[in-house]
Amino acid sequence: MVRVLTPFEYFEPKTVEEASNLLRDYGEKVRVLAGGVDLLARIRRREIQVEGLVCIQRIPGLDYVRQDSEGLKIGALTTLRTLERSQEVRENYRLLFDAIHSIHSIQVKNMGTAVGNLCIATPASDVAVSLLALDAQMKIAGPSSERSMPLENFYLGVKRTALQPGELVTGILVPPLPKGSFGAFMKLVRTATDIAKVNVAVRATLRNGGCEEVRIALGSVAPTIVRARKAEEALRGTRLEREAVVEAAERAAEEVNPITDIRSTAEYRREMVKVLTRRAVEKIKVEAGVKG
């Protein structure tokens, strides 16, 4: 029932390198502060202990969203609200827009950054699920080098990422979407401004009515966000016939490992993976004009 923040050191590096060095030197004792939505609440509630915060808000050049031949590029300080209001995101990456738009608290979107949302490694993230379905890459900077990693490999467990000591995420790259791409994002919540009980993002590449490629990403149903690979297999190469969709939905429900918590039950979540996966694919069919 505590209220005050515990005392901590506060750093304001001016460059990524400086930030990275601080993270390397202090290791687990410090955390990166970008928007602070999740971090400050968790410190206050004593869910995490920190001795220092490395605030990256003063580092120039990290607040951007732009699209070029490599895809959509998002900086580490770009807020969810900026992305939601970006024409490129709204028009060309609708799946990401829909996920952000489904977060109803504008205050949270004004404070929170997309990268921060990914780095807190919550399995319930709407943004992470949609970016997983979009094959997003994480741009990571370390003390002496930079690297890139698929979002899919970024999570090791609940609130655990693959970041090494001294590393921080500087941006996200979402590759260009192939022609014939369609997406659908769906989620279930207790109330509109709540965190998802279950969320699903499906992206499919359709050619001549056939499903050439597909991604099914699920949230809040396992320790990390997950891809339903067996379900994807059930759809790949089909014409998204009703039986294939039902089969994929069934498989998706088998692939997850949900828990019961204050928001929902394991049983309900598993059942809803089935319903939402089916509905998401059906929505894609409607948008793509696929019959049957």
Contact residues for another protein, defined by CB under 8 A: 1-4, 7, 45, 104, 188, 190-195, 262, 264-265, 267-268, 271-272, 275
The residue behind tokens 């090791």 is 156
Q: In angstroms, rounded to a whole number, what is the distance separating the alpha carbons of residues 63 and 135? A: 21
Q: What's the min distance (Å) between Cβ of 236 and another protein? A: 25
Q: Enumerate residues 6+ apart whose C-beta is below 8 A from 79.
A: 35, 63, 109, 110, 111, 112, 113, 114
Q: What's the min distance (Å) between Cβ of 55 and another protein? A: 21
> Please, which residue, 67 or 105, has the CB nearer to another protein?
105
Q: What's the min distance (Å) between Cβ of 265 and another protein? A: 5
> Please, which residue, 131 or 188, has the CB nearer to another protein?
188
What does residue 52 show for φ and ψ, rounded to 5 degrees?
Answer: -155, 155
> Please, which residue, 1 or 208, has the CB nearer to another protein?
1
Q: What's the min distance (Å) between Cβ of 162 and another protein? A: 27
Helix, strand or coil, per DSSP, at residue 80:
helix
Q: With contact defined as beta carbons under 8 Å apart, do 26 and 41 qualify?
A: no
Q: What's the min distance (Å) between Cβ of 268 and another protein? A: 5
> Please, which residue, 54 or 272, has the CB nearer to another protein?
272
Q: What's the min distance (Å) between Cβ of 223 and another protein? A: 20
> Please, which residue, 121 or 211, has the CB nearer to another protein?
121
> Please, which residue, 145 or 191, has the CB nearer to another protein?
191
What token pair was written down for 185? 């994002």
Q: What's the min distance (Å) between Cβ of 193 and another protein? A: 6
> Please, which residue, 31 or 274, has the CB nearer to another protein?
274
> Please, which residue, 42 or 239, has the CB nearer to another protein?
42
196 — alpha (psi -120 to 50), left (phi > 0) or beta?
Answer: beta
Q: What's the min distance (Å) between Cβ of 59 and another protein? A: 30
Q: With contact defined as beta carbons under 8 Å apart, do 97 and 84 qualify?
A: yes
Q: With contact defined as beta carbons under 8 Å apart, do 227 and 245 qualify?
A: no
